Amino acid sequence: MRKHVIAGNWKMNKVLSEAEAFLENISGKVPENEKVEAIVCAAFPFLPALVEKAKGTKVKIAAQNMHFEESGAFTGEVSPVMLHDIGVTHVVLGHSERREYFAETDETVNKKVHAAMKHGLIPIVCVGETLKQREANETMSVVETQVKEALKGLSPDQIGKTIIAYEPIWAIGTGKTASSSDANEVCAHIRKVVGEIASKETADKIIIQYGGSVKPANIDELLSQPDIDGALVGGASLEAESFLQLVEAGA
Ligand code: 13P
Residue range 106-132, pLDDT digits in tens: 999 999 999 999 999 999 999 999 999
247 pLDDT tier (thresholds 50, 70, 90) = very high
Q: From ligand 1's centre to the CA of 191, what distance in Å? A: 21
Q: From ligand 1's centre to the CA of 80, what distance in Å? A: 23
Question: Ligand 1: which of 6, 99, 167, 176 to mutate, most ligand atoms within 8 Å of CB?
Answer: 167
175 pLDDT tier (thresholds 50, 70, 90) = confident
24 pLDDT tier (thresholds 50, 70, 90) = very high
177 pLDDT tier (thresholds 50, 70, 90) = confident
Q: Is 237 in the pocket of ligand 1 (CB under 6 A)?
A: no
DSSP assignment of the chain equals: -PPEEEEEE--S---HHHHHHHHHHHTTTS--STTEEEEEE--GGGHHHHHHHHTTSSEEEEES---SSSSSS-TT---HHHHHHTT--EEEES-HHHHHHS---HHHHHHHHHHHHHTT-EEEEEE---HHHHHTT-HHHHHHHHHHHHHTT--HHHHHH-EEEE--GGGTTSS----HHHHHHHHHHHHHHHHHHS-HHHHHH-EEEEESS--HHHHHHHHTSTT--EEEESGGGSSHHHHHHHHHHH-
Residue-wise pLDDT tens digits, 82-112: 999 999 999 999 999 999 999 999 999 999 9
Q: ipTM greater than 0.95, yes or no? A: yes
Q: Is 128 in the pocket of ligand 1 (CB under 6 A)?
A: no
Q: What is the pLDDT of residue 158?
A: 98
Q: Is 9 in the pocket of ligand 1 (CB under 6 A)?
A: yes
Judge whether residue 162 has pLDDT over 90: yes
